[in-house]
A and B are shown apart, each in its own frame.
Chain A
Amino acid sequence: MPRLTIDGREIEAPAGQTVMDAARAAGIFIPYFCWHPQLSVPGNCRICVVGVEDKGGEWIDIACNMPVSEGMVVHTNSEGVRQRRKDTLQFITLNHPVDCGICDKAGECTLQDYHYEYNGERSLSRDAKNHETKHHALSPRIVLDNERCIQCTRCVRFTREVSKSNGLGMQNRADHSLVRAVEDGSFANDPYSDNVIDLCPVGALLSPSFLHKARVWYLKPTASVCPGCARGCTVNLWHRRPEWRLRAPDMRAQNESIDRVTPLENPAVNGPWICNKGRDLAKLLGRARAEGAMLKGRAAELQGAIAMARSLIAAARKPVALVSSWGSNEELAAFRAAFGERLDARVKADHAPEPGEVVEDAILIRADKNPNTAGAKAIFGDAPPDIPKDADLVLVWGEGLDFNRIPAGAKIVYLNAWLQPENGHADVFIPISIQTERSGHYTNFAGVTSAFAKCFPKPAQAADAETLFASLALAPGGGP
């Protein structure tokens, strides 16, 4: 293995590795725009230049495409390197509008960061900047601000190398180059398209659903797991920081909503990507919630409903349970601990593929649209979610069951978070908390377990599932 020196540190790096990779492995930072660990190396932005000592002088070249060699002495921050980066930034910003004040990327834009780090000067150009359209729809999900694009081609390469939709390209050339979607409209069908929004090092690619919604420094990410399919991609759910809570009385919806979803890099599950369904979790998890407990469709007190459910379960001779594949491992274990073998429990699918949704592909998307089927089956086994004809009580946990499958005459105890017509058809209905209101773990189809954390308090009318099961299982009249 070649030995080299980077910024005075002796490093050993595998032959063929680039200086960029070797430096990163050693924890030495080199700036980059066009380079990305999961994409090919085009070497077009030139911000990653480093200096290599040579006969008392130094030559300068890009680190992302420079293989390491024996005895190489590299400087990532010499006078010459800093000057070259400064010059490069002058070119990159030649036609850039510098409209950070109205740019969603401000605060997490590498062009901003590098400008403060390496340039800090106003433009030296006396020529007028080129102007371009600022809201070009690449698809219904993505708008492009042509003026902010620095032509790094990360987005284009993503569609060629990762999502393989070949949906984006670079049109025209030189200072009138523009990123454009292919004319046959197929970019709109790329189920991974929104990853280009994170990939874009500047604020050129934007999500209409987040556009001008919030400055990123008012938001905080909570680590979570996408429940959209059995892949269980790890994600960051971004929501308002408590200290920046909006204080007007009607602001609860804004303070306690998911403003955007980004991938939480995880080599064991999803790498740095997620699919568009994961981006839309605000919609999936923001559906209307069940308003309160009910007894045969009539509003009831939560405690009263719990007591009623408990006595129904205690009285049943052949009680059956359909447990939720959206329950966390903790909730599933609590269910098992509470009821033991008393209930004939089977795992049901809460969600099936929606019309128009990609059912399965070779990248991330799995056909099972539930996050914790594996975790649930590990506890309750693999029996199909059939309901025996002689069941006299069915406890249904989670949405998605066709109530026509429940034998006539059997009592129904229903635990569900959402406002749905079935709720009123149960003998006892109890609203429960959802993923963002508790922490827990899901186990994905490959057996990898990932954690999610709580973002918001649960609504007062909903019961916390994990503690609910214990109170449902107590013998009537017994214990507190």
Chain B
Amino acid sequence: MRHLVPEFEKLKERYPAGFEASLVLPCLRRIQEDRGFVAEEDIVGLVDYLGVPRIQVEEVLSYYTMLRRKPIGRFHLQACRNIACSMRGAEGVVGYLRKRLGIGPGETTPDGRFTLSVVECLGSCGTAPVVMVNEAYHEDMSLEKLDRLVDELAAAGEGK
């Protein structure tokens, strides 16, 4: 986390003095982007750097489900289960991913390659059902498209 401090200093300029607590969220996001998750040492470092009580960092971490305190798989599959996606077969999508990957939502495959999450509306209802893989949207997902997607990811994973 320490190596991000110069970036945090830039962020700080956008907030009036005394609003250090408001920096918790953008800093945590940046830390997660950097490490893949937020580690204990990041929390300790951030508390020290911002001078906010530790409980406020813990609250933000638990409030936003997108923030993680444990590492996850290389490919994070997030399947939307909200109304538009559900009407267009989201349940089948989640069911298929469960079967194909052999894991439930919130779990990671033993080889550390895939993590499956079920999430609320991804804001792409017009192209439901939607699955995100890391930062990328995969839209209008049918079971065939899903199959191909997982194949490609698995192959990409091999190559690594």
Contact = CB atoms under 8 A, between A and B. Distances in A.
Interface string A171-199: 11100000010111000000000000000
Interface stretch (B48-56, B79-87, B149-157): B48-56
Interface stretch (B12-20, B28-36, B57-65, B107-115): B57-65
A182 B55 contact: yes
Interface string A155-175: 000001000001111111100
Nearest to B56: A169
A168 B63 contact: no
A180 B61 CA distance: 13
Contacts of B55: 166-169, 182
B58 A182 contact: yes
B54 A166 contact: yes
A183 B63 contact: no
Contacts of A166: 53-56
A8 to B, nearest CB: 44
A61 to B, nearest CB: 27
Interface residues of A, number: 13
Main secondary structure of the interface of B (DSSP, over half): helix
B62 A171 contact: yes
Contacts of B53: 160, 166, 182
A139 to B, nearest CB: 14
Contact of B54 (A170, A171, A173, A184): A184
B62 A172 contact: yes
A166 B21 CA distance: 13
A134 to B, nearest CB: 20
A354 to B, nearest CB: 28
B76 to A, nearest CB: 20
Contacts of A167: 55
A166 B54 CA distance: 8
Contacts of A173: 62-63
B50 to A, nearest CB: 13
Contacts of B59: 169-171
Contacts of A160: 53
Contacts of A170: 59
A399 to B, nearest CB: 40
Indicate the member of B55, B59, B63 with the most A CB atoms within 10 Å. B55
A170 to B, nearest CB: 6
A182 B54 contact: yes
A184 B43 CA distance: 11
Interface string A128-170: 0000000000000000000000000000000010000011111
A173 B59 CA distance: 9
A180 B55 CA distance: 9
Contacts of A169: 55-56, 58-59
B94 to A, nearest CB: 20
A18 to B, nearest CB: 25
B21 to A, nearest CB: 11
B136 to A, nearest CB: 27
A180 B54 CA distance: 12
A183 B63 CA distance: 15
Contacts of B56: 166, 169
Contacts of B58: 169, 171, 180, 182-183
Given A171-B59, A171-B62, A182-B54, 5 more contacts: A166-B53, A166-B56, A169-B58, A173-B63, A180-B58
Interface of A: 160, 166-173, 180, 182-184
19 contacts: A160-B53, A166-B53, A166-B56, A167-B55, A169-B56, A169-B59, A171-B58, A171-B59, A171-B62, A171-B63, A172-B62, A172-B63, A173-B62, A173-B63, A180-B58, A182-B55, A182-B58, A183-B58, A184-B54
Q: Which 5 A-B pairs have the closest CB atoms?
A: A166-B53, A169-B55, A171-B62, A182-B55, A169-B59
